[in-house]
Homo-oligomer: A and B are copies of this chain.
Amino acid sequence: MISDEAFPVEPWRIRETQLVFDLLPQTESIFALSNGHIGLRGNLDEGEPFGLPGTYLNGFYETRPLPYAEAGFGYPEDGQSIVDVTNGKLIRLLVEDEPFDVRYGDLLSHERVLDMRAGTLTREAEWKSPAGKHVRVTSVRLVSLAQRGLAAIEYIVEAVDDPVRVTLQSELVANEDQPEPSDDPRVASVLKNPLKAMQHEVSDNGAVLIHRTRASKLMMAAAMDHVVEAPGRVDISGDAGGDWARTTVVCGLQPGEKLRLVKYLAYGWSSIRSRPALRDQVAAAIAGARYTGWDGLLDSQREYLDDFWDSADVEVDGDADCQQAVRFGLFHVIQAAARAERRAIAGKGLTGTGYDGHAFWDTEGYVLPVLTYTAPHAAADALRWRSSTLDLACDRARELDLDGASFPWRTIAGEECSAYWPAGTAAFHVNADIAMAFDRYRVVTGDHSLEKDCGLAVLVETARLWMSLGHHDRNGLWRIDGVTGPDEYTAVVRDNVFTNLMAANNLRIAVDACHRNPDAASDLGVDNEETAAWRDAAEAVHIPYDDELGVHPQCDGFTTLREWDFSANTEYPLLLHEPYVRLYPAQVVKQADLVLAMQWQSHAFTAEQKARNVDYYEKRTTRDSSLSACTQAVMCAEVGHLELAHDYAYEAALIDLRNLHHNTGDGLHLASLAGSWTALVGGFGGLRDDEGMLSLNPHLPSGIKRLCFRLRWRNFRVTVEADHSSVTYTLRDGPHHRLTIRHAGEPLEINTDASTTVPVQPVTPLLPTPTQPPGREPMRRHLQKSDLES
């Protein structure tokens, strides 16, 4: 747990006021910088001490054989693991002969600041060397949002009391040592020396290293170049070997004098381009950086973010924690996506090696809803990446004796990498989640080009998958057996309500897409018989319901399974303390499943069903997945448990700033961070879009005085500002003057001439506030000071 005193609550910054060695793994993740292409963990400039050294390139992975003690047909043979590539963040400082190392000498002060408007990580340290030499070190680091292949560091060292000779060694280092592996299955496998040195070039001012992965045969180049400002004589020299390159700068400083180094760092990789092509690519990026200059890079960084925040910012008056955290979440979401450009948005972005760097359904299910409303270009890019793997998904479906496409549960490059099929291959809902994300993009942006270009094929092939997975029973009900829904504590089930509703939705939106694009559909072999069969299956889909209890079973029979013994077995997460053979047949839920169905397919449930279902599943949900709290926030808000919803919104938002799942050190929980936006905007703003309309229905908990959020809807920019009594909708601009939205279920026309203010529609909960499993009450905000310091 990270105490809430680690980072003072400031609206636009994450500021660490002192360096805590034990928190290094976590702060490296929190202070990670990325543009979706390059990711730099917040490792100290001098490299040591570290929790997990990390420099990542999106899509750059190594393969490794997946071992099975008992093999099975269709099990993936090879896994893909994110690679810690050549580290270019390294700048070592020697004060006289002594290396600047925070573990030695006296660290007089140390502050790091992640500035979410500037897009920079700043560090200021005052240090007295063991020999008593006093220096001030300032570094500013950025990964450029404007120039995709580029990162840069400004490093300044100043002599404070005495004249000193300082030496900077700015480096590129490949195949860094990694910490020892853990037994936790959520942690990545460790690759040892994954990079094979191919070429190194060195000049006085910089160097290039080219490496290739041993098994996946991906080639990467890393280049560095330096601009040095020094008060007097300065020596600059370079040298390099296969796995390292170094630019050395030596000068003398009088008290008050500074040595300033600007390091430009360029990365490129390819599976097909040649060594010279990659070498030239990084050289060009360096040339571009020198042309733009350090100040130019800073300016373009801020410009990019200003534009983002203009459509994305959420103001949360009255809850400073959530205010800071939701911006932190949005900042990391845009960092993960901004320049990913047809590469995956991984579950942990490019902030760590957790889950091997894989992308899951988190991308389409949790991250893209946010991006679609706030940075639609990035959502489109991510969907284009997914569609680029359609052929692989079709191959996988063939292997599984299925029609259409079966997208992977976890992957970097598109191949299925899940080695445990009951919670991997069987979780076919990922396909419907992807389909829904394509359709949401079209509905929300009004941009039909993506569907034409690639979305239609995804919708058609996923529809075909569902047709081969489902079947009509003897009573004409369309059922899907042997699949796993979002909840991984009950797997390989019959008629999972979430999956069945999402599959039916997939079929319906595929029908509609074919009607919108008849020629393209025909090219894909779709005819009227096929779409009729899709429509029929969607109509006949079986949604089990427990009449006696008045709730939806998460899957067929769920509500008659044995209850979990919460009096005895409450070591969380349960998956680390209980076997699947006990978890699966019990009424214990890892994460929102039926409750997520009510969020994503809201129209399929009555208000009373929603209230009863929330009540039933709250008591049985352990939130052992980081994907749960944000969904619970949304649905608790909808049924009127606003304070509980606020607790869950807090938990989703603070997951990494407080290390609530104890694994922030392996990388951030992007889905939960994105979910903090969803908790506020979907929960307290009431945003829904599952019926193709922009629907809103704000209700605030007592702890939030005012909630203001912005979003994009079909080229309109909309601001929603709510307090406890009224809501003001502002249409800032757009293709027309008017837009009809839904407020509290009723149509409301808003226009660009003036804001429209309407009263909040009161919500009264049908049932009392539900309880949670013992030990899984949410971290209530009013307890946070006393409880969280331990």
A72 CB contact (under 8 Å) in B402, B568, B579: B579
**Does residue A185 face the partner (Cβ distance < 8 Å to B)?**
yes
Contact assessment for B579 and A474 in the assembled complex, using a CB-CB cutoff below 8 Å: no
**Does residue A229 face the partner (Cβ distance < 8 Å to B)?**
no
Question: Closest CB of chain B to A62's CB: distance in Å?
Answer: 15
A71 CB contact (under 8 Å) in B183, B402, B556: B183
Question: Closest CB of chain B to A742's CB: distance in Å?
Answer: 39
Known contacts being A401-B569, A402-B582, A562-B471, is A79 close to B69, with CB within 8 Å? Answer: yes
Contact assessment for A474 and B560 in the assembled complex, using a CB-CB cutoff below 8 Å: yes
**Does residue A426 face the partner (Cβ distance < 8 Å to B)?**
yes
Known contacts being A401-B569, A560-B473, A581-B426, is A73 close to B482, with CB within 8 Å? Answer: no
**Does residue A734 face the partner (Cβ distance < 8 Å to B)?**
no
Contact assessment for B419 and A69 in the assembled complex, using a CB-CB cutoff below 8 Å: yes
User: A146-154, A570-578, A782-790: which one contacts chain B?
Assistant: A570-578
- The closest CB in chain B to the CB of A565 belongs to B401
Q: Determine chain A's interface SS by DSSP, over half rule.
A: loop
How far is it, in angstroms, between the C-alpha of A517 and the C-alpha of B616 when the chains are bound? 46
Contact assessment for A578 and B420 in the assembled complex, using a CB-CB cutoff below 8 Å: no
Contact assessment for A185 and B72 in the assembled complex, using a CB-CB cutoff below 8 Å: yes
A400 CB contact (under 8 Å) in B67, B400, B562, B581: B581
**Does residue A22 face the partner (Cβ distance < 8 Å to B)?**
no
Contact assessment for A585 and B482 in the assembled complex, using a CB-CB cutoff below 8 Å: yes
A-side interface size class = 35 or more
Contact assessment for B481 and A185 in the assembled complex, using a CB-CB cutoff below 8 Å: no
**Does residue A425 face the partner (Cβ distance < 8 Å to B)?**
yes
Residue-wise, chain A 75-117 has the 8 Å CB interface mask toward B (1 for contact) of: 1000100000000000000000000000000000000000000
- The closest CB in chain B to the CB of A72 belongs to B580
Known contacts being A481-B562, A585-B481, is A579 close to B425, with CB within 8 Å? Answer: yes
**Residue numbers in B under 8 Å from A560 (CB-CB):** 473-474, 479
**Does residue A320 face the partner (Cβ distance < 8 Å to B)?**
no
Contact assessment for B67 and A494 in the assembled complex, using a CB-CB cutoff below 8 Å: no
**Residue numbers in B under 8 Å from A425 (CB-CB):** 579, 581
**Does residue A557 face the partner (Cβ distance < 8 Å to B)?**
yes
Contact assessment for B70 and A482 in the assembled complex, using a CB-CB cutoff below 8 Å: no
Contact assessment for A401 and B73 in the assembled complex, using a CB-CB cutoff below 8 Å: no
How far is it, in angstroms, between the C-alpha of A585 and the C-alpha of B399 when the chains are bound? 17
How far is it, in angstroms, between the C-alpha of A278 and the C-alpha of B445 when the chains are bound? 81
Known contacts being A481-B585, A561-B481, is A418 close to B579, with CB within 8 Å? Answer: no
Contact assessment for B72 and A69 in the assembled complex, using a CB-CB cutoff below 8 Å: no
Contact assessment for A474 and B556 in the assembled complex, using a CB-CB cutoff below 8 Å: no
**Residue numbers in B under 8 Å from A234 (CB-CB):** none
**Does residue A296 face the partner (Cβ distance < 8 Å to B)?**
no
**Does residue A74 face the partner (Cβ distance < 8 Å to B)?**
yes
Contact assessment for A418 and B185 in the assembled complex, using a CB-CB cutoff below 8 Å: no
**Residue numbers in B under 8 Å from A75 (CB-CB):** 579
**Does residue A492 face the partner (Cβ distance < 8 Å to B)?**
yes
**Does residue A778 face the partner (Cβ distance < 8 Å to B)?**
no
**Does residue A548 face the partner (Cβ distance < 8 Å to B)?**
yes
**Does residue A604 face the partner (Cβ distance < 8 Å to B)?**
no
- The closest CB in chain B to the CB of A473 belongs to B560
Contact assessment for B67 and A67 in the assembled complex, using a CB-CB cutoff below 8 Å: yes
- The closest CB in chain B to the CB of A556 belongs to B557
**Does residue A66 face the partner (Cβ distance < 8 Å to B)?**
yes
Known contacts being A72-B575, A183-B71, is A582 close to B400, with CB within 8 Å? Answer: yes
**Does residue A716 face the partner (Cβ distance < 8 Å to B)?**
no
Contact assessment for A401 and B79 in the assembled complex, using a CB-CB cutoff below 8 Å: no
**Does residue A584 face the partner (Cβ distance < 8 Å to B)?**
yes
**Does residue A422 face the partner (Cβ distance < 8 Å to B)?**
yes
Complex interface residues of chain A between 539 and 591 (CB less than 8 A to chain B): 548, 556-557, 560-562, 568-569, 575-582, 584-586
Contact assessment for B581 and A482 in the assembled complex, using a CB-CB cutoff below 8 Å: yes
Complex interface residues of chain A between 470 and 493 (CB less than 8 A to chain B): 471, 473-474, 479, 481-483, 491-492
How far is it, in angstroms, between the C-alpha of A74 and the C-alpha of B569 when the chains are bound? 15
Contact assessment for A575 and B471 in the assembled complex, using a CB-CB cutoff below 8 Å: no
Contact assessment for B73 and A420 in the assembled complex, using a CB-CB cutoff below 8 Å: no
How far is it, in angstroms, between the C-alpha of A582 and the C-alpha of B575 when the chains are bound? 25
Known contacts being A401-B569, A474-B560, A560-B473, is A70 close to B581, with CB within 8 Å? Answer: no
Residue-wise, chain A 647-661 has the 8 Å CB interface mask toward B (1 for contact) of: 000000000000000
**Residue numbers in B under 8 Å from A70 (CB-CB):** 185, 418-420, 424
Contact assessment for A69 and B420 in the assembled complex, using a CB-CB cutoff below 8 Å: yes
Known contacts being A548-B474, A562-B481, is A578 close to B73, with CB within 8 Å? Answer: yes
**Residue numbers in B under 8 Å from A569 (CB-CB):** 401
Complex interface residues of chain A between 413 and 470 (CB less than 8 A to chain B): 418-422, 424-426
Contact assessment for A584 and B72 in the assembled complex, using a CB-CB cutoff below 8 Å: no
**Does residue A68 face the partner (Cβ distance < 8 Å to B)?**
yes
**Residue numbers in B under 8 Å from A577 (CB-CB):** 73
- The closest CB in chain B to the CB of A580 belongs to B72
Contact assessment for B494 and A492 in the assembled complex, using a CB-CB cutoff below 8 Å: no
**Residue numbers in B under 8 Å from A420 (CB-CB):** 69-70, 72
How far is it, in angstroms, between the C-alpha of A471 and the C-alpha of B586 when the chains are bound? 10
How far is it, in angstroms, between the C-alpha of A73 and the C-alpha of B183 when the chains are bound? 10
Question: Closest CB of chain B to A588's CB: distance in Å?
Answer: 12
**Residue numbers in B under 8 Å from A400 (CB-CB):** 579, 581-582
Complex interface residues of chain A between 388 and 405 (CB less than 8 A to chain B): 399-402
How far is it, in angstroms, between the C-alpha of A586 and the C-alpha of B471 when the chains are bound? 10
- The closest CB in chain B to the CB of A417 belongs to B69
Contact assessment for B72 and A557 in the assembled complex, using a CB-CB cutoff below 8 Å: no
- The closest CB in chain B to the CB of A479 belongs to B560
Contact assessment for A68 and B71 in the assembled complex, using a CB-CB cutoff below 8 Å: no
Contact assessment for B422 and A422 in the assembled complex, using a CB-CB cutoff below 8 Å: yes
Contact assessment for B580 and A421 in the assembled complex, using a CB-CB cutoff below 8 Å: yes
- The closest CB in chain B to the CB of A548 belongs to B474
- The closest CB in chain B to the CB of A574 belongs to B73
Question: Closest CB of chain B to A210's CB: distance in Å?
Answer: 31
How far is it, in angstroms, between the C-alpha of A787 and the C-alpha of B582 when the chains are bound? 48
Question: Closest CB of chain B to A400's CB: distance in Å?
Answer: 5
- The closest CB in chain B to the CB of A421 belongs to B581
Contact assessment for B579 and A73 in the assembled complex, using a CB-CB cutoff below 8 Å: yes
How far is it, in angstroms, between the C-alpha of A73 and the C-alpha of B399 when the chains are bound? 29
Binding site for B on A (CB under 8 A): 66-75, 79, 183, 185, 399-402, 418-422, 424-426, 471, 473-474, 479, 481-483, 491-492, 494, 548, 556-557, 560-562, 568-569, 575-582, 584-586
Inter-chain pairs besides A68-B69, A72-B580, A481-B585, 16 sampled, C-beta below 8 Å: A68-B68, A69-B420, A70-B418, A70-B419, A70-B420, A72-B420, A74-B578, A74-B580, A400-B579, A421-B581, A426-B581, A471-B562, A474-B548, A492-B492, A492-B581, A494-B585
Please name 5 pairs of A and B residues whose Cβ atoms are closer than 8 Å in the assembled complex, sorted by A. A67-B68, A72-B420, A401-B582, A471-B562, A492-B492
A-B pairs, 3 with minimum CB distance: A482-B585, A69-B419, A74-B579
